[in-house]
Amino acid sequence: MEIAQALEVIWAARWALLAGLGNTILISVLSILMGTALGLVVGLILTYGNPVLRFVVRLYSDFLRGTPVFVLILACFYILSVVDIQLSAYEAGIFALTLFCSSHVGEIVLGALKAIPKGQTEAAKSVGLTFFGTFFSVLLPQALRMILPTWVTTATEIVKASTLLSVIGVVELLLGVQQVIARTFLSLELYFFAGFVFFLLNFAIEKAGRFVERKVAIPS
Amino acid sequence: MDYDFNFAAVWRNFDLLLSGLGLGLVLALVSIAIGCVIGLFTAFGMLSKHRLLRWAAHGYVSAIRNTPILVLILFTFFALPQLGLRLGKIESFIVTLAVYSGAYLTEVFRSGLVALPPGLREAGLTIGLTELGTKVRITIPIMFRNVLPALGNNFISLFKDTSLAAAIAVPELTFHARKINVETFRVIETWLVASLMYVFACAIIAALLRRVERHLAIPG
Amino acid sequence: MSVPVLEITNLHKRFGDVEVLKGIDLTMQRGDVVSLIGSSGSGKTTLLRCVNLLEDYEEGIVAVAGEQIGYRQQNGRRVRLREREIARQRAMTGMTFQHFNLFPHMSAIRNVMLGLVRTRKMPKDEAYATAETWLDRVGMKDRKDHFPGQLSGGQQQRVAIARAIAMNPELMLFDEVTSALDPELVSEVLAVVKGLAADGMTMLLVTHEMQFAHDVSDRVVFMQDGRIGEEGPPDTLFHNPKSERLAAFLKSSKF
């Protein structure tokens, strides 16, 4: 019975696979957090920055979004080593995913801030709020709610993109599974297993996102 | 950082990179064409009266969207032969990308169909068209024009995803870039040129798509 | 007397638990112009939509030119017709909508030609000539190559009327043709409808324009709560309403 055999193999390799899953989660969380922080800055500059700064950041974002994330990962991995920045594959991968995430979050932030009607800023000014006051108590709370659904999608994109680190030798879940396949040749069962675990991970993220969305929704 | 830039090695191999870019575009085009057919059927499945069809359509979309594309690529190429389905690298990649894009296009088409005023279908019926005739002559053509921008974005991200074909040694742009990188050690030059080729290709595709959109736009 | 163009017998229609039509009987002979009036929710639009089966009905018979629409009796049970049959039957009637529902991706003349070519299987050049004739008739010939988005509401509605009538239907159904129009565009559309009535077209209208209903109709039907409340020649109905409900309705409609 091949399914039973596959389950046995998975069970036998449980610690290695769990370590892989742990890496996948750690890589994703770090990339998403750092990428979001960087992305907020990108978005703010794109919205409010002076023309020169805006131009530079626009190039940054367009370049990153025009490049496939796989190329970004390979480029970071190979390039960082020749310019004497000693990063492990693990770190180079997280660096690439962080850049990727930042450009996407930047565009989301820009879009949300632009979508808030001008009247909101005018109304905030008319009650005497400063630029920062307007931004933090009027614009940001509205923008964050708009950003949430797309941000959750970006998060799942990062989780999926983290599998690409397997190609540069980072033992995350996919490479962990591939190592088991190399020993057992159960590619059908184990690739299916990998896909299923990722499905569960992303499905959970999406559901959690929906839950938070409902929680913070403005009543109407 | 003391790094002497020397692009000679990259220019020597530029024809390889260009042919790789061409192959990537062809892969993306063929895949999205098949993906459109899949997406259209699944979109109607999602809107069907039959619960089973709706479940099947939702299941397909949510399974594909939550699974990393690299896992899908490896699964199709390495695991399906276990079931007796042996495909060449290129065919296997096209199948994967088509099924993958089909899931995303389902969402695009579904929301396009839902957004159409119901009166259009009724007007088609009143002049004696069948349900199928109404779809073919009226609903689908209008929906298609309305979702063209989203379709274009999907094509661009699909084109970027063709970089992953390198993982199963399909000789597209990223595959050649890696080879040139390893053979010449002109690391920065190689990856800079490769990513710029992606960036410009995406920009050109986007510009072309905007022209197509304008050309196909419904007057008024 | 010949076969009635429209014969509705004991028509019942439910939306879930709500019965919106509770037994309607209505007969129209060739050349009749009948207006359905009544407050919103009285069932008049639903009645119209049952005639070409945009709404299914649960009980009773709707027959156009002697042919039951949508169903046939088999061993004493109602069986829904095949889709192709229903499509053919729908083409026996022409319908115009409150929101015109022109096909936005086709020019005015292609809107009119579509049914002629696809349903009537007319050759393209003949369909073009027919469509042109009808667009001329509704005063839209000079805009035949315009797209719906380039036309005013009144112009769109006139094209929609041409699209329906070019199919040479037994019966025309008008569903609140002027409700979505700016006031200054109403008269151009009503003039077209009056012209068709004068030509002897058989027409069933749902309208909120009481003056128009009075002028154009042979008979007016007042609907209330899914039933026919009162029915008769326009002068009788509008000037001597029998029921309180109709009197109140006419008063609120500023007739």
**pLDDT, greater one: C253 or B65:** B65
Please compute the mean of the pLDDT values over residues B35-64 and round it to a whole number. Answer: 96
Nearest by CB to C115, from B117, B127, B131: name it.
Answer: B127
pLDDT at C1 (0 to 100): 62
Q: B46 pLDDT exceeds 90?
A: yes
CATH number at residue A185: 1.10.3720.10
pTM of the predicted protein model: 0.86
pLDDT (tens, 9 = 90+) of chain A, 220 residues, equals 578 888 888 898 899 999 999 999 999 999 999 999 999 999 999 999 999 999 999 999 999 999 999 999 999 999 887 877 888 999 999 999 999 999 999 999 999 999 988 888 888 888 878 888 888 888 888 898 999 999 999 999 999 999 999 999 999 999 999 999 999 888 898 999 999 999 999 999 999 999 999 988 887 7
Contact B119 C97 (CB under 8 A): yes
C-alpha B160/C-alpha B5 separation (Å) is: 27
Cα dihedral B188→B194→B195→B196 (10° resolution)? 100
Name beta bridge partners: C74.
C77
Average pLDDT over chain B reads: 93
Q: What token pair was written down for A113?
A: 């801030």
Please compute the mean of the pLDDT values over residues C93-108 and round it to a whole number. Answer: 93
Whole domain around residue A130: which residue ranges? 2-216
Instruction: Show residues of chain C in contact with B131, CB under 8 Å.
Output: 83
Cβ-Cβ contacts under 8 Å for A136 (sequence gap 6 or more) = none
Q: Which of B166, B162, B65, B84 is nearest to A188 (CA)?
A: B84
Residue A214: exposure state from Cβ atoms within 10 A (0-12, 13-18, ≥19): exposed
Q: C164 pLDDT exceeds 70?
A: yes
Q: C113 pLDDT exceeds 90?
A: yes
Instruction: Show residues of chain C in contact with B138, CB under 8 Å.
Output: 103, 105
Which chains have 3+ CB pairs within 8 A of C?
Answer: B
Q: Are strands C171-175 and C93-96 parallel, antiparallel or unpaired?
A: parallel
Instruction: Show residues of chain B in contact with A201, CB under 8 Å.
Output: 66
pLDDT at A1 (0 to 100): 54
pLDDT at A109 (0 to 100): 95
Check: complex ipTM more than 0.85:
yes
Instruction: Encode pLDDT of A97-146 as tens digits.
Output: 999 999 999 999 999 999 988 888 888 888 878 888 888 888 888 898 99
Distances (CA, A) of C170 to C53, C71, C85, C94: 15, 19, 16, 8
Please give the residue of chain B at the shortest CA–CA distance from A61.
B199
Instruction: Encode pLDDT of C118-145 as tens digits.
Output: 899 999 999 999 999 999 999 999 999 9
Longest CA pairwise span in chain C (Å): 56
Matching CATH number, B14-216, of 1.10.260.40, 1.10.3720.10, 3.40.50.300, 3.30.420.130: 1.10.3720.10
C-alpha A63/C-alpha A69 separation (Å) is: 11
| CB-CB neighbours of A115 under 10 Å | 10
In chain B, what are the domain boundaries?
14-216
Q: What token pair was written down for C100?
A: 């015109």
Q: How confident is the model at residue B2 (pLDDT cuts 50, 70, 90)?
A: low
pLDDT at B164 (0 to 100): 96
Report the domain count for chain A.
1
Closest-CA distance of chain C to residue B145, Å: 9
Q: B172 pLDDT exceeds 90?
A: yes
Instruction: Show residues of chain B in contact with C163, CB under 8 Å.
Output: 127
With pLDDT > 90 as the criterion, what percentage of chain B qualifies? Answer: 84
